[in-house]
Amino acid sequence: MKENKYKTAGREVSILADGTSVSWHWGAGASDAVDWSAWDSFLASAQSRTVFLESRMMRSLLLASNRPVSAVQWKRKGSIIGLACIEDTTAVSVNLDSHVQSERSWFSGISKVLHGKDGRFQFRVRVVGTVLGSGEHGQCWSPTVSAVEARRLLTETVFQPHCLNGVQVPRVVMIKDQPILDNEHRKVQHKRWIPLEFDPEMLFHINREWSDFDDYLQGLKTKSRTKIKRIMALSSDFELRTLSSLELVEHCDELIDLYQSVYERSGFRLGSLHAEELLTSKAEWGDDFVVTVFELEGVLKGFQCAYVGSEETEAFFVGFDPELRKTHAIYQRMLVEFICLGIERKSKRVNMGRTALEIKSSVGALPRRLMCEVQFRNRLFNTVVGRYTQGYNPVATHLRQPWKSDAHALAAHSELHTL
């Protein structure tokens, strides 16, 4: 598909058959090689609001040596027409049957064979989008580029054999994350790309007229307000502190240990958080990367971190002592603190990710279904996987309904789903 190509350390430029140039930047020096002013200007012109494609996010990922990430740009006549974050990682599925349900009787049998005796199946995958975030953050295109053309350009690009980690080029590509609106069935959008649906992303919509925590509570039903107040009572013994850059350096290894205690319980894992990423994020984002620790009698028991963008707060990762989840409602309190941060920083919404759905719904987060798309380099295997995945869906979860009927969150979520 390429007519011409030249290569330097950590950078490769390809010329596609239609004359579009594609540049990849990864590894040491990539952070200094990209014109970030032009990058951000393009995002602004395309009205992209995701924090995960901002230049400061891309730099923080590129500067983390254990993240094989590339900043990719498509250009015509010297002007940017598309951007993407592409990352190579390992996907790990643990006991898949507990996380998906299938209409086909043979699904469980094949799943057990794939997962083996230890209930674990893993494979290398190239991801369009940052692997640790959820939502529409993997790519951005000029309004002049149609969806069909954008997918053609992306498909021609992602299977190019650029080895980002010096070890192995994955043979499967995953594109994250496209919303499924209005209760539609997931379906094939582009030829040879297989649609997959996992748990929904949970979104908390904020009324910008709110000035404090009490304003949030007023939108909840009486029973739900009582539950929130109980969370605050159970967690009242914690001392909360926001870490400075120096304090983060001092405690980052402890934070990762707490994160691992939560991470190891997840059923599907796409990449992992490392201490270096916390440090590079703080260096690039400053006060807009907020790391809050929970201490009990002077002992560190948990942490949470969030990126604050121009319109959205991304509730990124948490770590905590699992024994405190029931006795001190530590996880529920963290969700409340993310909400308080969003209110304080006048965000339109807090993006809470796609785990612990019922608990997140109990504090007011609402679900948005998301569809990933995958394609394997081997055409026969791609066809087999496409047939295999047609009959499964995420396990249905009971979600709470805490909002009053006239609450701002319900109206905002309705508007989102009718775009």
pLDDT digit string, tens, across residues 11-41: 889 999 899 999 999 987 899 999 999 999 9
Rounded CA gap, 315 and 337, in Å? 10
Rounded CA gap, 164 and 175, in Å? 17
Residues of the chain above pLDDT 70, percent: 89
Better-predicted residue by pLDDT, 248 or 93: 248
Over residues 56-84, the pLDDT tens digits come to 999 999 999 888 999 999 999 999 999 99
Walk me through the domains of the chain, giving residue ranges and CATH numbers: 2-201+369-394 (3.40.630), 203-367+407-416 (3.40.630.30)
Over residues 393-410, the mean pLDDT reads 89
| Residue 224: per-residue pLDDT | 97
| Residue 95: per-residue pLDDT | 60
Is the predicted pLDDT of residue 167 greater than 70, yes or no? no
| Residue 96: per-residue pLDDT | 56
Q: Under DSSP, is residue 258 helix (H, G, I), strand (E, B) or coil?
A: helix
Half-sphere exposure of 316 (CA within 13 A, CB side): 25
Q: What is the mean pLDDT of the chain?
A: 88
| Residue 117: per-residue pLDDT | 60
Over residues 335-377, the pLDDT tens digits come to 999 999 999 999 999 999 988 999 999 999 999 999 999 999 9
Is the predicted pLDDT of residue 222 greater than 90, yes or no? yes
Q: Where are the beta strands (DSSP E) in 69-171?
A: 69-76, 79-94, 100-102, 120-128, 139-141
Query: At 103, is the pLDDT very low, low, confident or very high (cuts 50, 70, 90)?
Result: low
Query: At 396, is the pLDDT very low, low, confident or very high (cuts 50, 70, 90)?
Result: confident
Rounded CA gap, 101 and 99, in Å? 7
| Residue 114: per-residue pLDDT | 52
Asked if residues 172 and 121 have their Cβ atoms less than 8 Å apart, the reply is no
Amino acid identity, position 10 = G
| Residue 387: per-residue pLDDT | 84
